[in-house]
Structure 1
Amino acid sequence: MRKVVISAPGGHERLTLVDTEAPRPAPGEVRIAVTAIGVNYADCVVRMGLYASAQEFVGWPITPGFEVAGVVDALGEGVTGLAVGAEVVAVTRFGGYASSLCVPAHRVFPVPPGLSLAEAAAVPAVYLTAWYALHALAHARKGETVLVHSAAGGVGGALCQFGRRAGCHVIGVVGGPHKVAAAAAAGADVVIDKSRTPLWPAVKAAAPAGLDVACDANGPETLRHSYRHLAAGGRLIVYGFHTMLPRTGGKPNLLKLALGFVRTPWFSPLALTNENRGVLGFNLSYMFHRAPLLIEGMAAISAGLAAGELRPPPITTYPFEQVAQAHRDLESGRTIGKLVLLT
């Protein structure tokens, strides 16, 4: 088998493809012959050495990757409900950049009907993130106004779809004209291209009564204003800090990180109470041990896909050997939808 190993934090050159023996499933595990691997921005952050849970759960060297799709080729003792030869999709807490891997059975699910393995690999991480943000945390309701930053990306597109499915009024923000159509297709009722239109006046015009939910993974560039544009009872959902990280070169700028930290707003409990607003943050990688949560989320996703109320994101595929190029492209901010590695 082949897998990507990162021996120490750094740039794209740290992504090393190595040959090794295939793992054997332990009791309760499923071994998957991997066909497709979803690429997430979190993988880039892992490579840079800035992903806290990666150091907490794994350390160096590390194989990144949160989601795969492929075929079951071995079952550990005690596994039921899955069969060798079945096409499956799985969520992994790191380790996904591999042609073969073992995963606890509660993180393995049938490929949703109608999806290819490449499409299936693009679904779990971003759709679980979007589902958890909008439903488990924000409890978005029909008629509420939801702001989605990076609405043409993987999580952003999924948030737009879940918002549309819930009957919300969705405002999507994108960073260039080539992304407008993708955000609209995902379900944004209003799409703001911030490269051509001043962002916050446009948000005010689209939501004059304020936002009920703002989903923000940008960090200090937008967090303060996302919060200020909430209506009474509004919720700000934070799940990333992308603007603090590099778009080229693959290595973090320590000065930029420090400035971003200083610029990141702090929210007073007294102000939150007086203004009747909420701020909630999360990192999905800390929740992979919660089997009922994963099962509930994946069931909602599969049901939405089966009903045609959700659709897989647009994907761009790369050969496994081009993993570094996939990271470069994702970090550039120019991509749409999800990137997928094919083994």
Structure 2
Amino acid sequence: MRAVTFDRLGGPEVLQVVDLPEPEPGPGEVAVAVDWVGVNFADAKARSVGYRVDTLPFHPGLEVSGTVRALGEDVTGLTVGQHVFAMLNGKGYAETAIAPAATTFAVPDALDLRDAAALGTVLATGYALVHDVARLREGETVLVQGAAGGVGTVTGQLARAAGAGRVLGVVSRPEKAAYAKEFGYDEILVGEDFDEQARAATDGRGVDVALDPVGGESWNRSIAALARFGRAVSFGNASDAAPWSAGMADLAGRGLSVSAFSILGLGAADPARLRLLTERAFREAERAGITIPVTGEFPLERAGEAHALLEGRSSTGKLLLKLH
């Protein structure tokens, strides 16, 4: 089978397509004939700086959709020929992927395989941020960094469906603002001073919830944008800044709360909880009509182009690899 790998860290050019033996599932695993692969910033970080890379060569890819080809021992609830979405620990950029049965999900009838690959991880992430980590309450104001990206476009819609009073998005470039506005946002803020813009947009009060995947100065400004008793959630560090910290002196004056979330961390530590979360997220997508635009499709041989587009901060929506 064909698969994408890299044997050294570096730019998108280190990705290469190789021929590998067809893998077979072990106990508790599923072999998926892959139709679509989601391209995530974590894939690019693995390639560039070794994020979650234990050894080289490494095979990237954290989410796929396709058809069950074979089942390992002790796998129940799935059948050969079934359409599924799977979250992986890597090796998703391939014609066949081996996935843990615990994080392989039947695709709802309302979604095709392309939709499933586009929505899967970003939908579960957004749902967890809104409902389980930030615990949004009806009428509250939400601020979402990266509003034009995959998680951002979904999270704006999820916050709206959950009863948010106002949903504010942040984008890095003015040309992304009109695009992001289509996905549940009342107002799009542009530029590094988004904390000041958020306070102006809320008559000086600030926001109840701030969701930040960037880290560094963006994280500091997200906290500055909070209203009294506000909650900030970090779910990434795209800036590669030093890890953030906050003590009582930073938070007590306004009664602030800070927390963090990683969909990969949840999958590794508690796959049963990830399954419950993802199933709920798919149901909410069906109920509320949550969508995400696929703005780029690439064959395996052009995976490097997808990475370059993602890292250039010029992409919007979701990027996919198409295998058939």
For the aligned pair, the TM-score class normalised by the smaller chain equals over 0.9
Identity across matched positions, percent: 37
Deviation at 1:213, TM superposition (A): 0.7
The answer as to whether partners of 2:25 and 2:72 remain within 8 angstroms in 1 is yes
Query: In the alignment, which of 70, 73, 84 is matched to residue 74 of structure 1?
Result: 70
Deviation at 1:176, TM superposition (A): 2.7
Distance 1:89 1:9 in 2: 28
Distance 1:331 1:78 in 2: 40
TM-score, reference length from structure 1: 0.88
The DSSP-based 3-state class of the residue aligned with 1:243 is: coil
Counterpart residue identity of residue 88, structure 2: T
Distance 1:302 1:229 in 2: 31
Question: Paired residue for 2:152?
Answer: 156
Question: Paired residue for 2:44?
Answer: 44
Question: Paired residue for 1:296?
Answer: 276
Counterpart residue identity of residue 193, structure 1: V
Deviation at 1:294, TM superposition (A): 1.4
Distance 2:172 2:286 in 1: 31
Question: Paired residue for 1:35?
Answer: 35
Is 1:191 aligned to residue 188 of structure 2? yes
Is 1:285 aligned to residue 264 of structure 2? yes
Query: In the alignment, which of 255, 269, 283 is matched to residue 248 of structure 2?
Result: 269
Counterpart residue identity of residue 191, structure 2: K
TM-score, reference length from structure 2: 0.93
User: Any residues of structure 2 matched to 1:3-18 within 5 Å, and which?
Assistant: 3-18=3-18
The DSSP-based 3-state class of the residue aligned with 1:65 is: coil
The answer as to whether partners of 1:305 and 1:312 remain within 8 angstroms in 2 is no
Deviations along 1:113-148, one digit per CA (max 9) or x if unpaired, are: 332322211122211221222221110111111100
Distance 1:86 1:265 in 2: 43
Distance 2:295 2:79 in 1: 28
Distance 2:149 2:250 in 1: 32
Deviation at 1:50, TM superposition (A): 4.1
Instruction: In structure 1, list runs of 5 or more residues that go unmatched.
Output: 245-259
User: Any residues of structure 2 matched to 1:1-343 within 5 Å, and which?
Assistant: 1-51=1-51, 54-55=52-53, 58-168=54-164, 169-194=166-191, 199-207=194-202, 208-244=204-240, 260-261=241-242, 266-289=245-268, 290-343=270-323
Counterpart residue identity of residue 310, structure 1: I
Supply the RMSD in Å over aligned alpha carbons: 1.8
Deviation at 1:164, TM superposition (A): 0.6
Q: Which runs of 4+ in 1 moved over 4 A?
A: none
Out of 39-48 and 294-303, give the one that drifted further: 294-303
Counterpart residue identity of residue 272, structure 1: L
The answer as to whether partners of 1:120 and 1:312 remain within 8 angstroms in 2 is no
Distance 2:293 2:107 in 1: 15
Deviations along 1:207-235, one digit per CA (max 9) or x if unpaired, are: 23111111111222311111112112111
Aligned length: 320
The answer as to whether partners of 1:165 and 1:309 remain within 8 angstroms in 2 is no
Deviations along 1:231-252, one digit per CA (max 9) or x if unpaired, are: 12111111122234xxxxxxxx
